[in-house]
Amino acid sequence: MNQALAEAVRACEAITRSRARNFWWGLRLTPLDRRWAMYAVYAWMRQADDLADEAGPDRAERERRMQAFRADTDAAFEGRADAGQPCMVALSEAVRRFDLQRGEFHDMLEGQWGDLEPARFESWEELRTFCYRVAGTVGLVCIRVWGFRDPEAPRLAVERGIAFQLTNILRDLREDLDGGRCYLPLGDYLAMELSPEAVKGWENSDRCAEFVQAQCRRAEAHYRRSEPLDGMIDPDCRPTLWAMTSIYRGILERLQRDPRLAVAGRARLPGWRKAMIAWRAGRMRRGAVA
């Protein structure tokens, strides 16, 4: 790794360390020869997301910056990364080494930037498309870096990404509703004679709890369907996937036990639980390397 690439990777690692939260716990377990690529991908995603969240510039200026970012991403895929952008320099090398697919990054941008206006999804089909774009694509990129051989792995990686995103949506339900975003399908609310506002206010506790638990079951079904993925990626990267899944699935389990956490707090795993997951994943990694 030359000096310019090493400096770019260090910058991407610093972004990941400071902002990745749950993602960071798993990435630390990735073997060094692939970990740097995950830092590059995360730093790229963070920058794309920050552009979507910018409050300062007007919409036209923000869209101009987004299109410039897309063009810079294309240049990175073509081996022409701007030397002044560390995440693009590191991403360009990751593209070369791991055969990352430009279309999957474009789909990620569609998901992140399609969320500029407060989202309101009418149906599961609309929500699933969103989950694929912002999270299923991440699953695809991850397994390209981690390595896989089974042709079913990409489909299952999308399923796992959707499970993660549904967990995020349930964890952040109150925060999103406060911000005018309603990701869970309006048709699902109506089917239970509820509204987003009624769930936010927990106006009928039994019905609201049933609604949240039904959404949890949908997420859990995606976790179950994607379980074979754990045995399809390269053995030395399996602890990373296991740790990340354990954290997100643990959050979902907390919501299943106490559905009101979706609107009256924030479902998190305590530090000691994350530490136990990291300890066990570390043992798994040592077993894979031995």
Same topology between domain 1-99 and domain 118-290: yes
Query: Which residues are 120's β-sheet partners?
Result: 182
pTM above 0.75, yes or no: yes
Q: How many helices (H) and strands (E) does the chain have?
A: 15, 0
Tokens of 23: 């993602």
Widest CA span in the chain: 61
Q: Tell me how far CA of residue 246 lies from CA of 21, 72, 93, 96, 184, in angstroms.
A: 14, 35, 30, 31, 23
C-alpha to C-alpha distance for 108 and 253, rounded to whole angstroms: 27
DSSP 92-150: HHHHHHH---HHHHHHHHHHHHTTSSPPB--SHHHHHHHHIIIIIHHHHHHHHHH-B--
pLDDT along the chain (290 residues), means of 10: 90 89 73 93 91 70 87 96 93 95 94 74 95 96 96 98 97 93 95 96 96 98 98 94 94 96 87 86 72
d(CA 268, CA 230): 23
DSSP one-letter code for 185: -
Confidence at residue 52, expressed as pLDDT on a 0 to 100 scale: 76
Region 118-290: CATH code: 1.10.600.10
Q: Token digits for 126?
A: 């609309």
The per-residue DSSP string of 12-59 comes to HHHHHHHH-THHHHHHTTS-HHHHHHHHHHHHHHHHHHHHHH--SS-H
Instruction: Identify the residue whose tokens are 């474009």.
Output: 106
Six token digits for residue 137: 């694509």
Q: Tell me what pLDDT residue 38 has.
A: 94
pLDDT at res. 134 = 93
Helix (H) or strand (E) holding 212: helix 205-225
The pLDDT assigned to 285 comes to: 77
CB 183 within 8 A of CB 127: yes
For residue 177, give Cα distances in angstroms to 183, 199, 207. 9, 10, 18
Superfamily for 1-99? Farnesyl Diphosphate Synthase (1.10.600.10)
What pLDDT is attached to residue 211?
98
Distance (Å, whole) CA 245 – CA 247: 5
The ranges assigned to domains in the chain are: 1-99, 118-290
CB 251 within 8 A of CB 171: yes
Handedness of CA 128, 244, 177, 191 (dihedral sign): positive
Q: How far apart are CA 147 and CA 235, in angstroms?
A: 9
